[in-house]
Amino acid sequence: MSSGSLRRRAQSGILARLRGHLVVSCQAPAGSPLKATAHMYAMAEAALLGGAAGIRAQGYDDVQAIARLGHPVIGLIKRDEPGSAVYITPRACDVELLAAAGAQIVASDATGRTRASGETTEQLVAAAHQSGALFMADVDCVDAALAAVEAGADLVGTTLSGYTLGPIPHEPDIELVAELARRLTVPVVAEGRYRTPEQVRAAFDACAWSVVVGGAITDPVALTRRLVSACSHHLLPETLGDDA
């Protein structure tokens, strides 16, 4: 069997391990006390113990560490670049770096927005395949998904639905999952604002290949804020006065 056939078989096996399962995004936002590779490694280990089939991780160091756990890793790099709104794995060199770190799948913005480098989605797909990784297109709409598949993407995620135009919705875009599952020939990953078991089940009912959940599991700051908003002190006057 040729090396290319062996690689394709291994890549197919990665996708099979994720099918019908949860992927947990272990990323800490800027300013979080958890923004350290050791913390993200522990978070990933905890998610895997809880039954997650894979991890989505950001940055070379985190990907390299989490890949040692032996489960599929979707790797990405977030970086703002002047002149472009694309910040998820914006360059082909980022793709190569993530694959070298151990990401079996590399995720990148494939919304159709122009990259600062001028590189095309086809070039990033080629970089992934030449590095032995699969390419996951993070899209925001049907047209972007179709274009990404035409460019060679191996799987498509609804990651950026609701984040490129207008106010960010509260609910996940399950309708987009269903539409993509009907129209695409590659796996569709449901991602973006999934917070409850009911939403996860709805995504699988819509024929999602797998579902990625992030902040609802791995962002204790956001979780705490959500619960604090229900605390009674928000309903009380700022000062009670001496007679209270």
Q: What are 162-188's pLDDT values in tens digits?
A: 999 989 999 999 999 999 999 999 999
pLDDT for 11 equals 74
pLDDT for 202 equals 98
The CATH H-level superfamily of 3-235 is: Aldolase class I (3.20.20.70)
Q: pLDDT band for position 235 (50/70/90)?
A: low
Q: pLDDT band for position 12 (50/70/90)?
A: confident
Q: pLDDT band for position 238 (50/70/90)?
A: low
Instruction: Number of helices (H) and strands (E) in the chain: give both, helices first.
Output: 10, 8
pLDDT for 30 equals 86
Going through the chain in order, the beta strands assigned E by DSSP cover 22-26, 54-58, 73-76, 105-109, 134-138, 155-157, 188-191, 210-213
Going through 8-110 in order, the beta strands assigned E by DSSP cover 22-26, 54-58, 73-76, 105-109
Q: pLDDT band for position 140 (50/70/90)?
A: very high
Q: pLDDT band for position 54 (50/70/90)?
A: very high
pLDDT above 90: residue 191: yes
